[in-house]
Amino acid sequence: MSKLLYISILLLVISSCTSKEQTLTKKEYVQWVQNPQNGLRKKKDISDYHFEVIHKTPEYMSIQGVKNIDPEMESYELQIASNNPSVTAMDLGITDMGQYQDKVNYFAFDFQRDIRLIVDGDSIYPTHFHFERTYDIKPFVSFDIAFKKQDLEKERTIYINGTRLGVGPLKFKFKDIKNTPKLKID
């Protein structure tokens, strides 16, 4: 009898310790992804720049209205802003219109070569890269970046060679991105 009681108590303790899967509304899900404490949003301030990288889950992209989400890809959004509110990210380090146009061309065509996803020592270049040019309507410049999907249980690093921006290499580490809440279907 005591063995049965012991097993019952053990099962009760184990079941109470295991976390139940979280189910969130669309609004709660967006807030969850954007909360840096949950590990899908990373931020760094270096020199005059502010960098943010967001791991965009398929659910998050669906809420944002993205169509044709490829399940074989993992997606990120990179935002670059100025730490000085009176200067835009595009204007940092720029002294004339020629330099401004060079920066636009760099972001649109060459910047993707300076970005990699590193998983288990493998360096993976983006398969999709889009520079969203907003003409200073937003306080940051934004890039949609996607890589061939890797094992989501493994730690990964978004590596950015920031030499052309004058900030050196940047690394954004993501751990345990597989354990995200479920989206409540309305």
| 66 domain-assigned | yes
Give the helix/strand (H/E) hosting 81: strand 73-82
**Ranges in the chain, pLDDT < 50:** 4-19
For 68-104, what is each residue's pLDDT tens digit? 899 899 999 999 999 998 999 999 999 999 999 999 9
| Domain around 81 | 23-183
* DSSP secondary structure of 123-145: EE--SEEEEE--TTSSSEEEEEE
Please tell me the predicted confidence (pLDDT) of residue 98.
Answer: 96
Please tell me the predicted confidence (pLDDT) of residue 2.
Answer: 55
| 13 domain-assigned | no
**Domain with 76 in it: what CATH number?**
2.60.40.10
Look up tokens 């249980």; give the residue.
153
Please tell me the predicted confidence (pLDDT) of residue 176.
Answer: 73
| 18 domain-assigned | no
**pTM, rounded to two decimals:** 0.84
Please tell me the predicted confidence (pLDDT) of residue 22.
Answer: 83
Question: What sign for the dihedral angle of Cα 106, 121, 118, 38?
Answer: negative
**Max Cα–Cα distance, the chain, nearest Å:** 85
Question: Closest by alpha carbon to 179, among 151, 154, 153?
Answer: 153
For residue 10, the SS3 value is helix
- In the DSSP assignment, the letter for residue 1 is -
| 7 domain-assigned | no
| 90 domain-assigned | yes
Please give the Cα distance from 117 to 78 (Å, whole number). 13
